[in-house]
Structure formats: C-alpha cells, structure tokens
Amino acid sequence: MVVAMAAGMLVLHPAWTLAIAGTAPTSVLRSVEVDTIVMATAMSVPMVAWMRYRGHGWAPAWEMSLAMYAGFIVLYPLHWAGVVNDAAVMSYGHVLMLGFMLLAMLLRRHEYTTAHHDHHRTSLEKIRDPASTRLSS
Ligand SMILES: [Cu+2]
C-alpha cells in the first residue's frame, strides 16, 4: 500500500508541478493548500486502486484516502496562524498521514490482519474449509 502511495507521489505529483509551471508564482494553484490536496490525491488514487485490487471494500479504501487528506488538513489552521510554513505543512503532513492511516487500520483491525486472499472468499467457503483461512496468504 505504501509502495502504491509512493508511486503516486513520485509520478502524479511531479505531473502536477509540470502542469502549473506556467502559472504566476502568486497563483492560488501554487498555494500549499492546493499543493497538499493534490499530493493527497496523487497518493490516494493508486492506493485505492491497489486496495481494491487486493480485495478491500470501498469503505476502508475511502477511510484510508481520508487519512491521507487529514494529515495535511489538520495543519492548515497552524499554517494560517503563521506557526508553520509551507514546507512544514508538506513534510509534517506526510508524518501525520501515516498516523491517521495507522488509526484507520486499528479501527478495522480485522480487515487488515486477515489474509488478503480471504476477502475474496465467501463465508460459506470459510465454514466448509476453516483451516485454509489461516494458511492462505
Ligand atoms: Cu506525498
């Protein structure tokens, strides 16, 4: 999951930087708010795709995306108050993001501790063949 996030960060975010290259330095598109929202989106899109591919439902995928945005958004008030600068919002936001992701995982411990293969199996299959639940990965 983190690999998918990093891939989005390394590919999609630079694409955005390139896209706004022609805008004025004072453009709202260059504000740290827009920049971090784009960053969170760039990291969420491949992450959601990866989670869906691994059999997670939409709800945990949205929660995980929310965690990406939340890390940055909670810093905006501090930024507006002049406590933290643009770079700090971007870097601390990534750290907080991981914290929120951990929280999202703890709230759905079962979802994330069960073998991935298990999401694809029906309850009936698990009842018929409970041993393989632990052995599959
Ligand atoms: Cu990032």
Confidence of residue 130 (pLDDT cuts 50, 70, 90): low
CA 131 to ligand 1 center in whole angstroms:
40
Q: Residue 132 and residue 88: Cα distance in Å, rounded? A: 47
CB neighbours of 89 closer than 8 A, spacing ≥ 6? Answer: 32, 36, 72, 75, 76, 78, 79
Percent with pLDDT over 70 in the chain? 83
Note the pLDDT of residue 69.
96
Note the pLDDT of residue 94.
94
CA 27 to ligand 1 center in whole angstroms:
21
CA 30 to ligand 1 center in whole angstroms:
16
Q: Which long-range contacts (C-beta less than 8 Å, at least 24 apart) are formed by 1-9?
A: 1/47, 1/50, 1/51, 1/64, 4/46, 4/47, 4/49, 4/50, 5/43, 5/44, 5/46, 5/47, 5/68, 6/43, 7/46, 8/42, 8/43, 8/44, 8/45, 8/46, 8/47, 9/39, 9/42, 9/43
Note the pLDDT of residue 1.
81
| Residue-wise pLDDT tens digits, 34-63 | 999 999 999 999 999 999 999 999 999 999
Mean per-residue pLDDT of the chain: 87
Considering only 52-56, 80-84, 98-102, 124-128, which range has the smallest mean pLDDT? 124-128
Residue 124 has pLDDT above 70, yes or no: no
User: When comparing pLDDT for 131 and 40, which is higher?
Assistant: 40
CA 17 to ligand 1 center in whole angstroms:
13
Q: Residue 101 and residue 99: Cα distance in Å, rounded? A: 5
* Burial category of 102 from C-beta neighbours within 10 Å (exposed 0-12, middle 13-18, buried 19 and up): exposed
Note the pLDDT of residue 105.
92
Q: In the chain, where are the structural domains located?
A: 30-115
CA 95 to ligand 1 center in whole angstroms:
10
CA 109 to ligand 1 center in whole angstroms:
25
| Residue-wise pLDDT tens digits, 86-105 | 999 999 999 999 999 999 99
Q: Residue 68 and residue 96: Cα distance in Å, rounded? A: 9
Look at the chain and count its residues. Answer: 137
Note the pLDDT of residue 115.
62
CA 26 to ligand 1 center in whole angstroms:
22
